[in-house]
Structure 1
Amino acid sequence: MVIRYPAVAGMFYPSDPHELIELIEYCYLHELGPGSLPTGGVFRKPIGLVCPHAGYIYSGPVAAHSYKALSSRVDGKITVVILGPNHTGLGSGVSTMKGIWRTPLGDVKTDDEFIDRLWRNCDILDLDESAHLREHSIEVQLPFLQHLSMLHPVDFKIVPISMMMQDYETAIEVGHSIAKVSMELDRRVVIIASTDFSHYEPQDIASKKDALAIRAILNMDERELYTTVVNNNITMCGYGPTMAMIRAMKELGAGDVRLLAYATSGDITKDYSSVVGYASLIVE
């Protein structure tokens, strides 16, 4: 079985498991975080999340809002589809992989049955490990999921999908395929779109641009999100994964979206001259 070893442990988050748990819990309790640790819950319907993927000291408190909301909505066996942008340029345009993803907190298994059916039914999706080996956008979500499992009886398996191609048509096809396989296999699914928002803009410009993209997500309008990002030159790295998540969630019956948190790296560093935007949203 393929083991995908951590690429950014010791950089985006601590490589020591005890330090990692301490930092995750710090993110929950941070002034920009939700203010309390995850609670137990019961799975009732598919959940979609938009969640950032920067270093935990920067985006962790915002990410914690997504996982706090998730914790009260899951129990038992859950398949987590994690869609992330491909920052490295390695591998196929859209790819998944089977195997074990290792982090300092242990191993996370992939849902191989889901992956087999997905890549066979989605023409644009390849089975390609190379796209995942150095990519951080999926990896950084895993310790939060593992920490949640330590606190409550939740057993996560993942379906990692790396998207270098983020055009509208690709995202719609990927989202449709995720929903189709979820229903065919009767999976209890959570779909995470891993993305940061504006990159390296002054705070006032970044927040205004990000508000436009967030509005499109709140409208659950994939086309609006795509045209908004393109027409306003919004450097949101995971707009394709976000469009795919929205499409999948709509086909799975979701109709409600809420913004859980928005902040920038400037809110952490207090340097507002060049910031990265982070947002957490939930779709259900």
Structure 2
Amino acid sequence: MRGFPAEGTTPEGQTVQMLGLADAQQISDKVVMTAPVWAIVLPLLDGSRTVDQVVSQVGRGLTRPMLEQLLAQLDDAGMLEGPRFAQMLAGVHADFDSQPVLPPGSTAAFADAVAHQAGVPQDAPEHERHAVAVREVPKLLDQWIAHALKDAADPALTALPKAIVAPHLDYARGWINYAHAYGRLRVADRPDRVIILGTNHFGRGTGVTACDKGFSTVLGACQADQGVINGMRHLLGQGLFEHRYDHEREHSIELQLPWIQHVFGKDDSGRYPAVFAALVHDPCVNDGASYDGAGVALAPFVDALRRVLAELPGRTLVVASADLSHVGPAFGDPQRVGGDEPAAVEARRKVLAHDREMLELIEQGRHAEMVSSMSWQQNPTRWCSIGCITAAAMITGPTSVRLLNYNGALDSEGLSLVTSAAMVME
């Protein structure tokens, strides 16, 4: 469950602050609106207390009928574990397993926005919006690439690198680093497969979580690489795919697809490069093991993938779909990060200095030291993609790692700063 600020209206027409509640795993698409005061109660609804125990612990005038009313709302929305949630979850799992290729999620919204910007009404038929998006999305990606690389000393890589690092920010905030990473690959050798390593933002997997599906966007479908999937299943078992459902709406994988499709195009048989996707946990938390010891650890995953790729023909590109620091009041920090106030300027300086220090370790091939440093510091700026960056370096063993571009996305109110980078591993 995740909370977010929202506004409501009283019967008298007055605007009041509300607390919106939504399913972080997106199993349920319902939203519950309630009073902000319930924020102190929600952490107690973890299954370890009875209703009466929660009421007693909170006090402050809370009564059992009041709490039961909230619980009924949450249960109806599928936000409490129980029969209603189990029914929703079973439906999601059945739908997922019935499809060889996952439908677009976040990229579908992007395609609709591009079509609307091109003059198509938002209520136009789907086929009309789709036709315009197919035409306009590649144009927009080319515009972003041209802008990002217009002053670059090295705008193209003639040889396919072993790996790249690109953001998984929404395109509005991250386009420049997507363009810096993918734009340089336009004339490189075309890969036969792309391994996309992402971050498990909301799923249930506690270790590396792989997917046995392909992925689709408005530009078409990238089929799953069955050779990689079969090889990984043989070496690591079905446990690697147990939480494959975490990929259903995971944007860190999907947002790479339009760029891969646009830059590399289709082969003579009309197919885009095949893909294999895996979400990598944070190796700082449990020294690379899964969070609970039951999931797939980082080291055996890397070893297995290296063995599988060594036996398969063709060229492979690894993509680490990575965002870096997440700071500001939106992420729980007391200090605003926007504006010219000395404290805000100093906060941004510290973030940039920390990012620079960690990126230099990656560039120097010292990714293990980067993980150790992050672990010792307790990841002070909330890098969310240490796992996939580390895995990409371990899988490919690059002799050279270069930072192509670094950027920070600051919101208009100065409440959040998210940084990202474009990198190449050769």
Q: Could you tell me the TM-score, scaled by structure 1's length?
A: 0.85
**Who is 2:43 aligned against?**
none
**Who is 2:259 aligned against?**
144
Verify the 8 A CA contact 2:101 2:223 in the aligned structure 1.
Answer: no
Q: From the superposition, tell whether residues 52 and 108 of structure 1 become closer, same or farther in structure 2 (CA, over 3 Å).
A: same
Verify the 8 A CA contact 1:4 1:99 in the aligned structure 2.
Answer: yes
Structure 1 residue 278: deviation in Å?
A: 1.0
Task: Say which of 146, 160, 181 aligns to 1:29.
Answer: 146
Among all aligned residue pairs of Structure 1 and Structure 2, give the percentage whose two residues are the same amino acid. Answer: 25
Q: From the superposition, tell whether residues 213 and 102 of structure 1 become closer, same or farther in structure 2 (CA, over 3 Å).
A: same
Structure 1 residue 91: deviation in Å?
A: 4.5
**Who is 2:101 aligned against?**
3
The 5 Å alignment of 1:59-70 reads 59-70=174-185
Verify the 8 A CA contact 2:282 2:385 in the aligned structure 1.
Answer: no
Does 2:254 align with 1:107? no
Q: From the superposition, tell whether residues 52 and 276 of structure 1 become closer, same or farther in structure 2 (CA, over 3 Å).
A: same
For residues 158 and 168 of structure 2, the distance between their equivalents in structure 1, rounded to whole angstroms, comes to 24
For residues 418 and 280 of structure 2, the distance between their equivalents in structure 1, rounded to whole angstroms, comes to 20
Q: From the superposition, tell whether residues 39 and 209 of structure 1 become closer, same or farther in structure 2 (CA, over 3 Å).
A: closer
Verify the 8 A CA contact 2:216 2:222 in the aligned structure 1.
Answer: yes
**Who is 1:190 aligned against?**
317
The 5 Å alignment of 1:1-284 reads 1-11=99-109, 13-15=110-112, 16-30=133-147, 33-35=148-150, 41=158, 43=160, 47-75=162-190, 77-91=191-205, 93-122=207-236, 125-126=240-241, 128-150=243-265, 155-164=272-281, 166-167=283-284, 168-169=287-288, 170-201=297-328, 202=337, 203-230=348-375, 231=377, 232-250=379-397, 254-266=398-410, 274-284=416-426
For residues 274 and 350 of structure 2, the distance between their equivalents in structure 1, rounded to whole angstroms, comes to 38
Q: Compare CA radii of gyration and give the structure with the larger one.
A: 2
Counterpart residue type for residue 276 of structure 2: V
Q: From the superposition, tell whether residues 141 and 14 of structure 1 become closer, same or farther in structure 2 (CA, over 3 Å).
A: same
Per-residue displacement from partner, 1:66-107 (whole Å, max 9, x unpaired)? Answer: 1123333322x5211000010112446322222331101111
Q: From the superposition, tell whether residues 156 and 162 of structure 1 become closer, same or farther in structure 2 (CA, over 3 Å).
A: same
- Secondary structure of 1:67 counterpart: helix
Q: From the superposition, tell whether residues 18 and 68 of structure 1 become closer, same or farther in structure 2 (CA, over 3 Å).
A: same
Verify the 8 A CA contact 2:195 2:275 in the aligned structure 1.
Answer: yes
For residues 142 and 93 of structure 1, the distance between their equivalents in structure 2, rounded to whole angstroms, comes to 23
Structure 1 residue 224: deviation in Å?
A: 1.2
Per-residue displacement from partner, 1:203-238 (whole Å, max 9, x unpaired)? Answer: 323211211221121122232121232315231111
Verify the 8 A CA contact 2:168 2:251 in the aligned structure 1.
Answer: yes
Counterpart residue type for residue 424 of structure 2: I
Per-residue displacement from partner, 1:28-68 (whole Å, max 9, x unpaired)? Answer: 123xx22399869455xx51111101111211111111112
For residues 56 and 23 of structure 1, the distance between their equivalents in structure 2, rounded to whole angstroms, comes to 11
Structure 1 residue 151: deviation in Å?
A: 8.9
Verify the 8 A CA contact 1:109 1:158 in the aligned structure 2.
Answer: yes
Q: Which ranges of structure 1 fall in alignment gaps of 5 or more residues?
A: none
Verify the 8 A CA contact 1:40 1:152 in the aligned structure 2.
Answer: no
For residues 321 and 220 of structure 2, the distance between their equivalents in structure 1, rounded to whole angstroms, comes to 21
For residues 221 and 234 of structure 1, the distance between their equivalents in structure 2, rounded to whole angstroms, comes to 20
Counterpart residue type for residue 350 of structure 2: I
Q: Could you tell me the TM-score, scaled by structure 2's length?
A: 0.58
Counterpart residue type for residue 405 of structure 2: A
Q: Which ranges of structure 2 fall in alignment gaps of 5 or more residues?
A: 1-98, 113-132, 289-296, 329-336, 338-347
Verify the 8 A CA contact 2:283 2:371 in the aligned structure 1.
Answer: no
Counterpart residue type for residue 85 of structure 1: T
For residues 70 and 100 of structure 1, the distance between their equivalents in structure 2, rounded to whole angstroms, comes to 22
Q: From the superposition, tell whether residues 278 and 40 of structure 1 become closer, same or farther in structure 2 (CA, over 3 Å).
A: closer
Counterpart residue type for residue 109 of structure 1: Q
Per-residue displacement from partner, 1:176-214 (whole Å, max 9, x unpaired)? Answer: 222221112134111111110101343323211211221
For residues 165 and 174 of structure 1, the distance between their equivalents in structure 2, rounded to whole angstroms, comes to 14
For residues 173 and 217 of structure 1, the distance between their equivalents in structure 2, rounded to whole angstroms, comes to 21
